[in-house]
């Protein structure tokens, strides 16, 4: 009986701890979800309805705010700009991270560990500390106000994490595969494209999604490099100053800007969460 009693107490304690943990996580999830729900609710209100009741649920939903935000404020052009720089940034990060990870994890050369540590310092250097030399470098390269210039800047800032992720992931690849390929006459590039790159596809997929989220939501770097054109997030930020009285219109613009990111996250949620820890699991 004492064994059964002890077992029951342990199960009860574990159940209580599980319920407490679930309750705390539910509260955190609610605080995260509430701003999204509030913004969506506000975007469906007419300006008069919002002035009467800014907090309550929408009673007469309308899509006029979305139509106005998309057609009257050139948001379609902003969307295209965001798409272009995001694609360039993601391609740059994937290319640099994959090749650097391959070299640092699977090839033997002098100062490999030192180079890896130097690259990792990019994770701890704040953006604000290098804003002036960044702008000067981009200007000297004649890449100000160009999509390519901003895409390369994104690649430079987000590649250190990518290099760390891919180096850790590639380190788990058996060296016997490379040795067998060398015996068959494959060179380093053939080994990379035919063996290493396919095996690293899960980590590269996760890295591309995370980079997409960062590039799409960025405002600071864009304001520094692209001074004549706007991305979607910069256009939304400008609406807050020009149309601060029309809160439903701004809320509709925010929903338009956040919708692609939320859709990507929800669709690839499991791959993102699994890929964040892929290096720790593989390493």
In the chain, count of helices (H) and strands (E)? 16, 0
Please provide the average confidence, as pLDDT, over all residues in the chain: 82
Give the pLDDT confidence score for residue 280 in this predicted structure: 47
Measured distance CA(192)–CA(204) in Å, rounded:
14
Give the pLDDT confidence score for residue 5 in this predicted structure: 60
Give the pLDDT confidence score for residue 271 in this predicted structure: 67
Give the pLDDT confidence score for residue 100 in this predicted structure: 92
- Give start and end residues of each alpha helix (H) in 44-111: 47-52, 64-72, 75-106
Q: Locate 117 and state its tokens.
A: 């540590």
Burial readout 115-150 (b: 16 or more C-beta within 10 A, e: otherwise) = ebeebeeeeeeeeeeeeeebeeebeeeebbebbebb
Task: Write out pLDDT tens, residues 182-217.
Answer: 888 888 888 888 888 888 888 888 888 889 888 888
Give the pLDDT confidence score for residue 277 in this predicted structure: 56
CA-angle at 206, arms to 201 and 210, nearest 5°: 145
Residue 260 contacts by C-beta under 8 Å, 6 or more apart in sequence?
216
Residue 13 exposure: Cα atoms within 13 Å on the Cβ side: 6
pTM for the model stands at 0.78
How many other C-beta atoms can be found within 10 angstroms of the C-beta atom of residue 174? 9
Measured distance CA(153)–CA(131) in Å, rounded:
11
Per DSSP, 125 falls in state S
Give the pLDDT confidence score for residue 272 in this predicted structure: 64
Per-residue pLDDT of the chain (283 residues; tens, 9 = 90+): 555 565 556 656 667 777 788 788 888 877 878 888 888 899 899 888 888 887 888 888 888 888 888 887 778 888 888 899 999 999 999 999 999 999 998 888 888 889 888 888 888 888 778 888 888 888 898 888 888 888 899 888 889 999 998 998 898 888 888 888 888 888 888 888 888 888 888 888 888 888 988 888 888 888 888 877 778 888 887 776 655 567 888 888 889 888 888 888 777 777 666 655 554 444 4
> Quick one: 97 exposed, middle or buried, by C-beta within 10 A (0-12, 13-18, 19+)?
buried
> Quick one: 91 exposed, middle or buried, by C-beta within 10 A (0-12, 13-18, 19+)?
middle
Domain residue limits, the chain: 2-32, 74-282
What fold characterizes domain 74-282? Answer: MetI-like fold (1.10.3720)
Give the pLDDT confidence score for residue 230 in this predicted structure: 79
Residue 188 exposure: Cα atoms within 13 Å on the Cβ side: 6
Give the pLDDT confidence score for residue 274 in this predicted structure: 62
């Amino acid at each position: 009986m004492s064994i059964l009693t002890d077992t029951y107490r342990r199960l009860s304690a574990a159940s209580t701890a599980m319920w407490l943990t679930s309750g705390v996580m539910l509260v955190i999830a609610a605080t995260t979800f509430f701003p999204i729900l509030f913004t969506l609710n506000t975007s469906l209100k007419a300006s008069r309805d919002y002035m009467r009741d800014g907090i309550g649920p929408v009673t007469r939903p309308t899509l006029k705010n979305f139509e106005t935000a998309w057609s009257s404020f050139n948001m379609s052009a902003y969307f295209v700009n965001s798409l272009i720089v995001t694609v360039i940034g993601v391609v740059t990060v994937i290319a640099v991270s994959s090749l650097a990870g391959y070299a640092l994890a699977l090839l033997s050369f002098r100062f490999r560990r030192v180079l890896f540590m130097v690259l990792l310092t990019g994770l701890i250097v704040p953006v604000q500390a290098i804003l002036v030399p960044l702008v000067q470098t981009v200007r000297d390269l004649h890449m100000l106000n160009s999509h390519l210039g901003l895409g390369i800047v994104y690649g430079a800032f987000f590649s250190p994490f990518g290099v760390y992720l891919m180096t850790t992931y590639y380190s788990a690849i058996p060296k016997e595969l490379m040795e067998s390929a060398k015996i068959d006459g494959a060179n380093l590039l053939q080994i990379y494209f035919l063996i290493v790159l396919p095996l690293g596809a899960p980590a590269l997929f996760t890295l591309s999604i995370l980079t997409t989220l960062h590039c799409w939501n960025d405002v600071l770097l864009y304001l520094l490099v692209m001074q004549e054109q706007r991305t979607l997030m910069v256009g939304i930020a400008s609406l807050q100053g020009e149309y601060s009285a029309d809160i439903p219109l701004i809320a509709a613009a925010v929903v338009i800007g956040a919708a692609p990111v939320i859709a990507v996250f929800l669709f690839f949620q499991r791959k993102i969460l699994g890929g964040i820890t892929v290096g720790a699991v593989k390493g």
